Amino acid sequence: MGAKRPKVPSDLRRRVLIEAGHRCAIPTCRSTPVEIAHIVPWAKVRTHEFKNLIALCPTCHARFDDPHGAIDRTAMRQYKANLNPLLIAASVGMPEQIGLLAAYQEFRMRFSSWITSELEHAAMKRKRRSSPEVVEEIRLKSIDCFAWALGATLDFQRVWENYDASGLAGAIFFHVAEWSDELAESPLPLPKIIARRDIMEEISEASSELHLAVCEAVGF
Ligand SMILES: [Zn+2]
Protein backbone atom coordinates (compact mmCIF):
# COMPACT_ATOMS: atom_id res chain seq x y z
CA MET A 1 0.00 0.00 0.00
CA GLY A 2 1.51 3.30 -1.06
CA ALA A 3 1.22 6.16 1.41
CA LYS A 4 -1.08 8.94 0.32
CA ARG A 5 0.70 12.00 -0.98
CA PRO A 6 0.52 14.79 1.63
CA LYS A 7 0.23 18.42 0.56
CA VAL A 8 3.40 20.53 0.38
CA PRO A 9 3.40 22.36 3.76
CA SER A 10 2.51 26.01 3.32
CA ASP A 11 5.78 27.46 4.69
CA LEU A 12 7.82 25.22 2.37
CA ARG A 13 5.57 26.15 -0.52
CA ARG A 14 6.06 29.83 0.29
CA ARG A 15 9.87 29.44 0.32
CA VAL A 16 9.85 27.72 -3.07
CA LEU A 17 7.64 30.47 -4.50
CA ILE A 18 9.78 33.26 -3.05
CA GLU A 19 12.92 31.60 -4.37
CA ALA A 20 11.56 31.91 -7.91
CA GLY A 21 9.92 35.30 -7.33
CA HIS A 22 6.47 33.73 -7.81
CA ARG A 23 7.22 33.13 -11.47
CA CYS A 24 8.17 30.08 -13.53
CA ALA A 25 11.79 29.23 -12.65
CA ILE A 26 12.78 28.69 -16.29
CA PRO A 27 14.55 31.94 -17.15
CA THR A 28 13.22 32.21 -20.70
CA CYS A 29 9.65 31.66 -19.49
CA ARG A 30 9.00 33.40 -16.16
CA SER A 31 5.22 32.99 -16.66
CA THR A 32 2.50 32.95 -14.04
CA PRO A 33 0.63 31.29 -12.44
CA VAL A 34 3.01 28.71 -11.00
CA GLU A 35 2.80 25.24 -9.52
CA ILE A 36 5.24 23.43 -7.25
CA ALA A 37 7.10 20.68 -9.11
CA HIS A 38 9.36 17.88 -7.82
CA ILE A 39 12.70 17.68 -9.63
CA VAL A 40 13.05 13.99 -8.75
CA PRO A 41 9.45 12.72 -8.96
CA TRP A 42 7.37 12.40 -5.82
CA ALA A 43 6.77 8.70 -6.60
CA LYS A 44 10.50 8.11 -6.17
CA VAL A 45 11.35 10.35 -3.20
CA ARG A 46 8.02 10.28 -1.33
CA THR A 47 8.91 13.45 0.49
CA HIS A 48 8.72 17.19 -0.02
CA GLU A 49 12.12 18.81 0.40
CA PHE A 50 13.13 22.34 -0.51
CA LYS A 51 16.15 21.24 -2.53
CA ASN A 52 13.96 19.01 -4.71
CA LEU A 53 11.14 21.51 -5.31
CA ILE A 54 10.88 24.21 -7.95
CA ALA A 55 8.19 26.65 -9.10
CA LEU A 56 7.05 26.06 -12.69
CA CYS A 57 4.19 27.34 -14.82
CA PRO A 58 1.71 24.62 -15.93
CA THR A 59 3.19 24.53 -19.45
CA CYS A 60 6.79 24.03 -18.32
CA HIS A 61 5.61 21.61 -15.63
CA ALA A 62 3.89 19.47 -18.26
CA ARG A 63 6.93 19.64 -20.57
CA PHE A 64 9.15 18.54 -17.68
CA ASP A 65 6.85 15.65 -16.66
CA ASP A 66 6.58 14.43 -20.27
CA PRO A 67 9.12 11.56 -20.59
CA HIS A 68 9.71 12.59 -24.20
CA GLY A 69 9.88 16.25 -23.30
CA ALA A 70 12.82 18.49 -23.95
CA ILE A 71 13.56 19.44 -20.33
CA ASP A 72 15.62 16.88 -18.46
CA ARG A 73 16.47 16.67 -14.77
CA THR A 74 20.02 17.99 -15.15
CA ALA A 75 18.65 21.09 -16.82
CA MET A 76 16.01 21.48 -14.12
CA ARG A 77 18.67 21.22 -11.37
CA GLN A 78 20.60 23.96 -13.13
CA TYR A 79 17.49 26.18 -13.22
CA LYS A 80 17.07 25.56 -9.52
CA ALA A 81 20.72 26.48 -8.89
CA ASN A 82 20.20 29.73 -10.78
CA LEU A 83 17.53 30.91 -8.37
CA ASN A 84 18.30 33.11 -5.43
CA PRO A 85 18.04 31.59 -1.93
CA LEU A 86 19.14 34.88 -0.33
CA LEU A 87 15.68 36.26 -0.98
CA ILE A 88 14.13 33.57 1.16
CA ALA A 89 16.41 34.07 4.15
CA ALA A 90 15.71 37.80 4.01
CA SER A 91 11.97 37.43 3.70
CA VAL A 92 11.24 34.59 6.09
CA GLY A 93 13.49 35.93 8.83
CA MET A 94 16.61 33.73 8.97
CA PRO A 95 19.17 36.33 10.10
CA GLU A 96 21.96 33.87 10.85
CA GLN A 97 21.80 32.51 7.28
CA ILE A 98 21.98 35.88 5.57
CA GLY A 99 25.77 36.29 5.83
CA LEU A 100 26.37 32.85 4.38
CA LEU A 101 23.89 33.37 1.57
CA ALA A 102 25.14 36.87 0.77
CA ALA A 103 28.64 35.44 0.18
CA TYR A 104 27.10 32.74 -2.00
CA GLN A 105 25.11 35.30 -3.99
CA GLU A 106 28.19 37.47 -4.52
CA PHE A 107 30.12 34.39 -5.65
CA ARG A 108 27.46 33.54 -8.23
CA MET A 109 27.17 37.08 -9.56
CA ARG A 110 30.93 37.44 -9.94
CA PHE A 111 31.21 34.12 -11.76
CA SER A 112 28.42 34.95 -14.10
CA SER A 113 30.08 38.27 -15.06
CA TRP A 114 33.44 36.55 -15.41
CA ILE A 115 32.07 33.91 -17.78
CA THR A 116 30.13 36.51 -19.78
CA SER A 117 33.17 38.74 -20.20
CA GLU A 118 35.42 35.84 -21.25
CA LEU A 119 32.88 34.92 -23.91
CA GLU A 120 32.65 38.52 -25.09
CA HIS A 121 36.40 38.78 -25.29
CA ALA A 122 36.72 35.52 -27.22
CA ALA A 123 33.97 36.55 -29.64
CA MET A 124 35.50 39.98 -30.21
CA LYS A 125 38.98 38.54 -30.85
CA ARG A 126 37.59 36.25 -33.52
CA LYS A 127 35.75 39.00 -35.37
CA ARG A 128 37.85 40.09 -38.30
CA ARG A 129 36.78 43.69 -38.07
CA SER A 130 37.27 44.35 -34.35
CA SER A 131 39.63 47.23 -33.65
CA PRO A 132 42.61 46.33 -31.45
CA GLU A 133 41.56 49.05 -28.97
CA VAL A 134 38.15 47.48 -28.46
CA VAL A 135 39.64 44.01 -28.07
CA GLU A 136 42.12 45.38 -25.53
CA GLU A 137 39.38 47.13 -23.59
CA ILE A 138 37.38 43.92 -23.35
CA ARG A 139 40.49 41.98 -22.42
CA LEU A 140 41.11 44.34 -19.51
CA LYS A 141 37.49 44.05 -18.44
CA SER A 142 37.71 40.27 -18.39
CA ILE A 143 40.88 40.51 -16.26
CA ASP A 144 38.93 42.67 -13.78
CA CYS A 145 36.10 40.14 -13.78
CA PHE A 146 38.59 37.35 -13.14
CA ALA A 147 40.05 39.27 -10.18
CA TRP A 148 36.57 39.91 -8.74
CA ALA A 149 35.65 36.25 -9.11
CA LEU A 150 38.85 35.26 -7.35
CA GLY A 151 38.08 37.74 -4.55
CA ALA A 152 34.52 36.43 -4.26
CA THR A 153 35.85 32.86 -4.07
CA LEU A 154 38.24 33.75 -1.25
CA ASP A 155 35.48 35.64 0.60
CA PHE A 156 33.15 32.71 0.14
CA GLN A 157 35.75 30.31 1.51
CA ARG A 158 36.34 32.53 4.53
CA VAL A 159 32.62 32.79 5.38
CA TRP A 160 31.96 29.09 4.62
CA GLU A 161 35.20 27.90 6.20
CA ASN A 162 33.69 24.99 8.12
CA TYR A 163 31.45 23.66 5.36
CA ASP A 164 31.90 21.34 2.36
CA ALA A 165 30.66 24.17 0.17
CA SER A 166 34.02 25.86 0.65
CA GLY A 167 35.90 23.15 -1.28
CA LEU A 168 33.24 23.05 -4.00
CA ALA A 169 33.57 26.80 -4.60
CA GLY A 170 37.33 26.37 -5.03
CA ALA A 171 36.74 23.56 -7.53
CA ILE A 172 34.39 25.77 -9.55
CA PHE A 173 37.01 28.50 -9.63
CA PHE A 174 39.57 26.09 -11.10
CA HIS A 175 37.11 24.67 -13.66
CA VAL A 176 36.19 28.14 -14.89
CA ALA A 177 39.84 29.21 -15.01
CA GLU A 178 40.63 26.10 -17.08
CA TRP A 179 37.71 26.84 -19.38
CA SER A 180 38.74 30.46 -19.87
CA ASP A 181 42.33 29.45 -20.69
CA GLU A 182 41.03 27.11 -23.31
CA LEU A 183 38.79 29.82 -24.66
CA ALA A 184 41.70 32.27 -24.84
CA GLU A 185 44.17 29.89 -26.47
CA SER A 186 42.12 27.81 -28.82
CA PRO A 187 42.34 28.73 -32.50
CA LEU A 188 38.92 27.17 -33.13
CA PRO A 189 35.89 29.29 -33.93
CA LEU A 190 33.80 30.07 -30.87
CA PRO A 191 30.80 27.81 -31.62
CA LYS A 192 33.16 24.83 -31.90
CA ILE A 193 34.64 25.51 -28.47
CA ILE A 194 31.26 26.04 -26.92
CA ALA A 195 30.09 22.83 -28.58
CA ARG A 196 32.83 21.00 -26.66
CA ARG A 197 30.61 20.73 -23.69
CA ASP A 198 32.79 18.77 -21.28
CA ILE A 199 34.19 21.66 -19.25
CA MET A 200 30.89 23.53 -19.31
CA GLU A 201 29.19 20.41 -18.02
CA GLU A 202 31.69 20.06 -15.21
CA ILE A 203 31.07 23.68 -14.27
CA SER A 204 27.34 23.20 -14.37
CA GLU A 205 27.47 19.98 -12.33
CA ALA A 206 29.76 21.54 -9.75
CA SER A 207 27.49 24.56 -9.45
CA SER A 208 24.37 22.49 -8.82
CA GLU A 209 26.34 20.44 -6.31
CA LEU A 210 27.40 23.65 -4.60
CA HIS A 211 23.80 24.86 -4.59
CA LEU A 212 22.62 21.68 -2.87
CA ALA A 213 25.42 21.93 -0.29
CA VAL A 214 24.43 25.55 0.41
CA CYS A 215 20.73 24.69 0.78
CA GLU A 216 21.60 21.82 3.11
CA ALA A 217 23.94 23.93 5.24
CA VAL A 218 21.45 26.76 5.76
CA GLY A 219 18.68 24.29 6.52
CA PHE A 220 16.40 24.79 3.51
ZN1 LIG B 1 7.26 28.20 -17.60
CA distance 110 to 104: 10
Q: What would the pLDDT profile of 43-76 be if each residue is shown by its tens digit?
A: 999 999 998 999 999 999 999 998 887 898 988 9
- Dist. CA 59 → ligand 1 center (Å): 6
**Does the structure show a pLDDT above 50 at 10?**
yes
Q: What would the pLDDT profile of 94-148 be if each residue is shown by its tens digit?
A: 777 888 888 998 898 899 889 889 988 888 888 888 888 988 999 999 999 999 9
Q: Which amino acid would we find at residue 176? A: V
Q: What is the pLDDT of residue 45?
A: 93
Percent of the chain with pLDDT over 90: 42
Q: What is the mean pLDDT of the chain?
A: 87
- Dist. CA 29 → ligand 1 center (Å): 5
Q: What would the pLDDT profile of 154-205 be if each residue is shown by its tens digit?
A: 999 999 999 999 999 999 999 999 888 888 887 777 777 666 667 778 888 8
CA distance 200 to 215: 23
**Does the structure show a pLDDT above 60 at 1?**
no
- Dist. CA 87 → ligand 1 center (Å): 20
Looking from the CA of 52 toward its CB, the CA atoms found within 13 Å total 13
- Dist. CA 82 → ligand 1 center (Å): 15
**Does the structure show a pLDDT above 60 at 2?**
no
- Dist. CA 54 → ligand 1 center (Å): 11
State residue 63 phi and psi, 5-degree precision: -65, -40
- pLDDT-based confidence at residue 37 (cuts at 50, 70, 90): very high
CA distance 39 to 147: 35
- Dist. CA 42 → ligand 1 center (Å): 20
- Dist. CA 219 → ligand 1 center (Å): 27
The strand ranges marked E within the chain are: 35-38, 53-56
- Dist. CA 197 → ligand 1 center (Å): 25
Percent of the chain with pLDDT over 70: 94
